[in-house]
């Protein structure tokens, strides 16, 4: 996983990932805001030709993403470590009964400086 600002000066953050598991997709997301309404969003696409829009928040040491829509409702919660070098997170999907279950856990650790 890598993060970097989009070239050309636009205030958009580019997130890219490659996963060494054949069943998991590689992908790219663009993170930006609605400057008029203080809302943050992530535009997601992966190598399965899946595209999604997530609403996003970043506050109090937590990074949250969520979407309601076909084929299922989904949410992400990531907690930053005190030193800011690690994000411990989980993706959840909504069950038929309206509750959420963990889809998978993930941990991001900053490499280098």
Both tokens of 91, joined, read 């993706």
Q: How far apart are CA 50 and CA 57, in angstroms?
A: 22
| pLDDT per residue as tens digits for the range 28-72 | 999 999 988 889 999 999 999 999 999 999 999 999 999 999 999
Please give the pLDDT value at position 22: 86
Q: Would you call the peptide bond into 71 cis, given omega within 30 degrees of 0 as the criterion?
A: yes
Please give the pLDDT value at position 100: 96
Q: Which domains does the chain have, with CATH numbers?
A: 2-109 (2.40.160)
Please give the pLDDT value at position 85: 95
Q: How far apart are CA 66 and CA 53, in angstroms?
A: 9
Question: Measuring CA to CA, which residue among 71, 74, 80, 34 is closest to residue 54?
Answer: 74
**Adjacency order of strands within the sheet including 27-34:** 2-5, 13-17, 27-34, 39-46, 51-59, 62-67, 74-80, 86-94, 100-109
Longest Cα–Cα distance of the chain, Å, equals: 46
Whole-prediction pTM value? 0.88
Q: Is the pLDDT assigned to residue 21 strictly greater than 90?
A: no
């Amino acid at each position: 996983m890598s993060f970097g600002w989009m070239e050309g000066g636009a205030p958009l953050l580019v997130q890219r990932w490659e996963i060494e598991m054949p069943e998991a997709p590689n992908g790219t997301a663009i993170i930006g805001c609605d400057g008029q309404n203080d809302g943050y969003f992530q535009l997601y696409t992966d190598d399965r030709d899946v595209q999604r829009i997530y609403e996003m928040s970043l506050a109090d040491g937590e990074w949250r993403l969520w979407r309601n829509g076909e084929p299922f409702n989904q949410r992400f919660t990531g907690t930053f470590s005190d030193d800011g070098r690690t994000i411990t997170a989980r993706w959840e999907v909504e069950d038929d009964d309206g509750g959420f279950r963990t889809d998978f856990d993930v941990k991001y650790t900053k490499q280098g400086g």
